[in-house]
Homo-oligomer: A and B are copies of this chain.
């Protein structure tokens, strides 16, 4: 196999992410969002909210991370953040399955390139570097705004309270982008108040 053979094998595999559905509906609530288009949204969030990133964050690295971050879902599926009372997302067996998926999928690429992308995915997952922390906060904020835009989405399906949203998600958004969480909290709080 040539390098192009390997790269196009990877790209054909990646197309399957468009068939992985998420708990969040798209803007008009007409259907669930898929993880391919979600990844596009996140990259656009990074570009648009770049000035919210702390000093030293490379937005272009954040964008690259976000383009790749969900590819493991081709094997593992999306684990909704509010499922099982908010506990399923970081479960040991899921983390293991995702790590194996990353090895398989990035392993389709030429060795040097696969290793580079795998390292970027691992950095995102570890959530320790400034780039990863900012990327993670965007991954948390976009579904909140999409639930809000579409009339409730997975908040209704999983019967989420504002306190749970703040604990499970708000704290994570605030870690990478505090002003963003302030803005979003003010916008979505009313939705929960009107419901209770």
Contact = CB atoms under 8 A, between A and B. Distances in A.
B12 A149 contact: yes
Assembly of this chain: how many copies?
Answer: 2
A64 B63 CA distance: 9
A39 B146 CA distance: 19
Contact of A37 (B5, B18, B27): B18
Contacts of A40: 36-37, 39-40, 43, 67
Given A15-B26, A26-B18, A8 B67 contact: no
A30 to B, nearest CB: 7
Q: What class of interface size applies to chain A in its complex with B?
A: 35 or more
A100 interface: no
A196 interface: no
Interface of A: 3-5, 7-8, 10-12, 14-16, 18-19, 26-28, 30, 33-34, 36-37, 39-41, 43-45, 47-49, 51-52, 60, 63-64, 67-68, 109, 113, 142, 145-146, 149, 179-180, 183
